[in-house]
Amino acid sequence: MKDFIRVETQHAVQFLKDGAVAGMEQEVRCAHEALENGTSEGADFLGWLHLPTSITPEFVADVKATAQTMRELCDVIVVAGIGGSYLGARAVIEALKNQFVELTPRILFAGNNISEDYLAELQDYLADKRFGIINISKSGTTTETALAFRLLRAQCEAQRGKDEARRVIVAITDAVKGAARTTADKEGYKSYVIPDNVGGRFSVLTPVGLLPIACAGMDIEALVEGAQEMEHLLRTAPMAENPAYQYAAVRNLLYRGGKKVEILANFQPKLHFIAEWWKQLYGESEGKNHLGIFPASVDLTTDLHSMGQWIQDGERSIFETVISIEQPEREVRVPSDEENLDGLNFLAGRRVDEVNKMAELGTQLAHVDGGVPCLRIVLPRLTERYIGQLLYFFELGCGISGNVLGVNPFNQPGVESYKRNMFALLNKPGYEAESQAIRERLGR
Ligand code: PA5
């Protein structure tokens, strides 16, 4: 019998009417069937649904071989990408790496902002390094990523020569469209295709996530295996044994009851970027037609000393979902101290994780007492396999939730608005009418 991550809902269900979750079974099942049958909105973007089980050993071997070449030829690998083209890789790498030891090669991220200082400092840092680039963009035209790649590519070619640079630049993009594809084909870069039917925020298990994660030396086979196990489980498990159904049902019921904000909380700093990935997945999928739970996150216990007051006592429009790691990878016990000046001898000999777990339980009980429904997602350990399970669980939970909410979870039309204004303000060719309108609006 395989072990799985699990969802505990009792401290959220107590805020709902008796039988409410069971009453959602039909709705949740229909939402899932609509995904499976391709009958809901956004059916062109369902490539993620059976993606884990479609990954072949040959494909994983190819990704690992590319990663190995990059690892041999580079001291630093810069992953250029934004949103779904970067957050998944960063989330997995940060969750698994030692927090105080730099990886060899070091993995850096760029193309996810337009800060001049960020880029200048990155250029300085890379000036004496053997670095390579993984350029990730499904559209191949995203400004943040394209701008960073233009600078990084020029620097890489200047430092290593064009021929050597070609060996350490990899493109992950559309099969035919976009500037990233044109450049990759013209320059002869090794490249991978992001399938048409997999949207950015659902692409962590394509080369978008797998190549950077493999470059970081992590076990992508175990990650994929975990996702495959979860795909199998969720496809057929009944409501009571289906964590994605439970999660989708409870969060939608809470939303209908006025809980408009979901706070994803962790008690492990390593999980910070898992929350960033989750926020994009749920925020960009559900926030449409003036609907949708606002996804927020906190790192605990750190943020109990900054946001704790608000969560305990602020407007009661929130619920909390805690990601908890059952078994830490390392063991640290509190030492005994003869003088006991700090008064901590009551903890002597006990594990730090016990203190953390009691802080977690104490926080959950306090928040429930304060009127905050709490869900808990438990990972037996923080390993590739359970992270693989978690990623797919959140993806399916998101697809089902979006359908239950009645929005198309797979588009992001709202993201275009800032781009149109930015291009108009920068006088991009083709935006003349918008430029004129915006100048009039701003009185320039
Ligand atoms: O989920 C999405 O589709 C987006 O967040 C994209 O990943 C993001 O905008 C980056 O787009 P692209 O990969 O085309 O550069």
Give CA–CA dist 263/274, Å, rounded. Answer: 13
Give 168's pLDDT tier (boundaries 50, 70, 90): very high
Ligand 1 in reach of 85 Cβ (< 6 A): yes
Ligand 1 in reach of 42 Cβ (< 6 A): no
What average pLDDT score do residues 197-217 get? 98
What average pLDDT score do residues 17-40 get? 96
Q: Which atom of ligand 1 sits closest to the CA of residue 280?
A: 5
What pLDDT does residue 35 have?
Answer: 97
Own/partner long-range contacts of 354-357 (Cβ < 8 Å, ≥24 apart) = 356/267, 356/301, 357/267, 357/324
Burial of 427 (0-12, 13-18, 19+ CB in 10 A): exposed
Sheet containing strand 76-80, strands side by side: 106-110, 76-80, 131-137, 169-173, 190-193
In this structure, which residue's CA is closest to atom 15 in ligand 1? Answer: 137
What pLDDT does residue 416 have?
Answer: 87
In the predicted structure, residue 30 carries a pLDDT above the cut 80:
yes
Q: Following DSSP, what letter does each residue of 109-148 receive, concatenated?
A: EESS---HHHHHHHHHHHTTS-EEEEEEESSS--HHHHHH
- Residues labelled as active-site residues: 284, 305, 419
- Tally of CB atoms within 10 A around 68: 13
| DSSP 8-state secondary structure symbol assigned to residue 202 | G
What pLDDT does residue 130 have?
Answer: 98
Residue 49 phi, psi (nearest 5): -60, -45
Determine contact, residues 85/137, Cβ cutoff 8 Å. yes
- Report the largest interatomic distance among the alpha carbons of the chain, rounded to a whole angstrom: 77
Pairing of strands 76-80, 131-137: parallel
Burial of 137 (0-12, 13-18, 19+ CB in 10 A): buried
Q: Residue 27 contacts by C-beta under 8 Å, 6 or more apart in sequence?
A: 249, 404
Give 444's pLDDT tier (boundaries 50, 70, 90): confident
* Closest listed residue to residue 180, CA positions, set 212, 153, 198: 153
Ligand 1 in reach of 89 Cβ (< 6 A): no
Rounded to 5, what percent of the chain is helix, strand, coil? 55, 15, 30
**Cα separation values, 242 from 218, 246, 444, Å:** 28, 6, 57
Sign of CA dihedral 205, 206, 209, 210: positive
Determine contact, residues 268/384, Cβ cutoff 8 Å. no
Q: Note the pTM of the prediction, 2 decimals.
A: 0.97
Amino acid present at 303: D
pLDDT in tens, 107-127: 999 999 999 999 999 999 999
Ligand 1 centroid to residue 412 C-alpha, Å: 9
What pLDDT does residue 6 have?
Answer: 96
The structure tokens listed for 59 are 């494909």
Element at 262 (helix H, strand E) = strand 261-266
Ligand 1 centroid to residue 409 C-alpha, Å: 14
- Tally of CB atoms within 10 A around 367: 22
What average pLDDT score do residues 406-431 get? 93
Ligand 1 in reach of 52 Cβ (< 6 A): no
In the predicted structure, residue 419 carries a pLDDT above the cut 60:
yes
What pLDDT does residue 367 have?
Answer: 98
Pairing of strands 261-266, 190-193: unpaired
Residue 135 phi, psi (nearest 5): -95, 110
In this structure, which residue's CA is closest to atom 8 in ligand 1? Answer: 83
Sign of CA dihedral 245, 246, 249, 251: negative
Burial of 216 (0-12, 13-18, 19+ CB in 10 A): buried
Ligand 1 in reach of 181 Cβ (< 6 A): no
Question: Facing residues of 379 across strands?
Answer: 325
- Which of 138, 143, 177 is the best mutation target for the ligand 1 pocket, counting ligand atoms within 8 Å of the beta carbon and taking the most? 138
Ligand 1 in reach of 146 Cβ (< 6 A): no
What pLDDT does residue 2 have?
Answer: 72
Give CA–CA dist 155/174, Å, rounded. Answer: 24
In the predicted structure, residue 1 carries a pLDDT above the cut 70:
no
* Cα 181-162-89 angle, rounded to 5 deg: 50
Task: For the chain, give the mean pLDDT.
Answer: 97
